[in-house]
Structure 1
């Protein structure tokens, strides 16, 4: 019964590998810029071909066996690195890619027995897969169960392919070969599902960032500011409004006005201390929240911002656009809602405008 089950498992292995390849390649055809989908698909396509051609699982009798499986593993690892936004290959990775084939070749040339060649090639390929698992473990966020699932699946492959090397009786060795098939099935499904889930998670995070970010300046919008700073109990609040912004739009055009807004956001961000939040509240009005900052620190930053904006005009094509900013400052009081402190800072901003603009007023 065991002998009959091996060809069946080999065929189902081919089907699973082929299905995973098709899923990734279809994703790549829909989004050609995501090269990692092509790498994952190519990896499983190689596995599907190997499942048909490489009849004797658990034994590397031909040099093409370690070459084919390490090629599949290498392509998958490259896909993981591209998914993470890293360079596709490093020098140590290249050595690991070549290790199984080189080991097989060297042991064969040295006159090693078939068992020794098989053992060396198997261990070398296991090291290759374990190194890919170690990469995922090292580069996983603290709380990312999906990334951990990918790492454990790769490690399971590294461990199970070594089972036929154990000193077991013949029936147990054949069962260990069947175990390789079963782990192939399970890990292929887990890896494909986990990677697609990670891609969906990334897309969701991007949409969430877009919903909380001002598209023009890259600063937070009102919703983003409320999400980032809504639970604070003590903070300095700054509201800044670019002076005579309508005149800039009328004189230089709206594209120039957009450039001024982006430039102001860049200057404000450069002055922002760690933990501070910058938001575009609407039009030419921006808000800054400084968690844990007192009255003096907040006022000092507001004055620095006013000077930084007024000291240097904004370059626009062959022109220079002079700008100034009026600023209102308030403090978030204990038990007060962020909206209330923003309103008080807005009143201080109104006082700054009434007093002649290009100045700081404190509520």
Structure 2
């Protein structure tokens, strides 16, 4: 019959939990705004302490053990929710966290045998781990890394149930080893996945900074060039320029001018379809690319943008700043000549300017 060395399992699990915990705590120490890392690190460090304090692999002889493991799992869930920018704790999470210990205490109080108490509390704890897995998987948003993290979490839930299945004594000992090895592997996988998700998010933030105008949030020239490299269908192109923008800066100050630019982008986003490309070329000039729109639809949106902006003066320090815009419209034939179409639309914009401003000029 196989014999299992509980101290050996405790030692290896302690090393894995401590290592993962210290990695996250160090990450939090470097960036104190990453509270999720503190949650993840606390989960592993407390798990390490529980591993030393209770030699109950597969069996929870004390309600304190059930509560301890449930609290660490909840910390992990809280860490993921904080990482996602959500409320850390929900009533459902609180109930699922306390349920294993409450069932343990309740069943013991009414005289149920230790085997029943262990089985029920184990299933409740596995339910908590499964709920975490469901949350991670359901919020993966197409991220392969996040799906890996969710599957690792699901593996924890599945492994927890192995020791309570009706196996022979020899196989039952093996399940304890499987639970321990599963803990080791999933801890490493989860730690690696979370660090990868953090890197993925940091890269996305850098991409946002590199490709967007920091003042208005619209694409900058680099972001526009990147979008124009994609294969596109026939598209409508609008080049827009705010009228008398220098006069606004001279009269109200550059801070007011910045606010006017931001409000123009907000106005444009409220009018344009979600798939529209909006970029700031520089100063007060913007370009809009409307894939799949014909000339009539493009002119209609240009006029709608002009009227919407004209009818909504911008409030600034007790003043009402009237803002108008001139727009040039052109079409692409097959999506391959967007840059040339922008140049032609810019020429149409110039005609709108010299024709009195606050108008749409079509090539």
How many residue pairs end up in the alignment?
362
- Measured after TM superposition, the shift of residue 335 of structure 1 is 5.7
Structure 1 CA distance for aligned equivalents of residues 77 and 69 of structure 2 = 12
* 2:168 corresponding residue in structure 1: 169
Structure 2 CA distance for aligned equivalents of residues 287 and 50 of structure 1 = 60
- Measured after TM superposition, the shift of residue 4 of structure 1 is 6.3
Structure 2 CA distance for aligned equivalents of residues 11 and 197 of structure 1 = 27
* 1:282 corresponding residue in structure 2: 282
* 1:217 corresponding residue in structure 2: 216
Maintained 8 Å contact 1:279/1:286: yes
What pairs with 1:74-93 in structure 2 (closer than 5 Å)? Answer: 74-93=74-93
Which is worse superposed, 28-37 or 59-68? Answer: 28-37
Runs of 5+ in structure 2 lacking a partner? none
- Superposed CA deviations along residues 280-334 of structure 1, whole A, max 9, x for unmatched, are 1111101111111111111111112222222332221122222221110001112
What pairs with 1:100-179 in structure 2 (closer than 5 Å)? Answer: 100-142=100-142, 144-179=143-178
- Superposed CA deviations along residues 53-82 of structure 1, whole A, max 9, x for unmatched, are 111311111111111111111111111111
Over aligned residue pairs, what C-alpha RMSD do you find?
A: 1.6
- Superposed CA deviations along residues 119-163 of structure 1, whole A, max 9, x for unmatched, are 111111111111111111222113x22111111111111111222
What pairs with 1:1-363 in structure 2 (closer than 5 Å)? Answer: 3=3, 5-142=5-142, 144-230=143-229, 231-334=231-334, 336-363=336-363
Structure 2 CA distance for aligned equivalents of residues 164 and 89 of structure 1 = 30
- Measured after TM superposition, the shift of residue 360 of structure 1 is 1.3
Judged with a 3 Å threshold, the aligned counterparts in structure 2 of structure 1 residues 38 and 327 are, in CA distance, closer, same or farther, namely same
**TM-score scaled by structure 1?**
0.96
Maintained 8 Å contact 2:310/2:323: yes
4+ residue segments displaced more than 4 Å: 1-4
Instruction: Tell me the secondary structure at the aligned position of residue 199 of structure 1.
Output: helix
Which is worse superposed, 334-343 or 44-53? Answer: 334-343
Maintained 8 Å contact 1:229/1:289: no
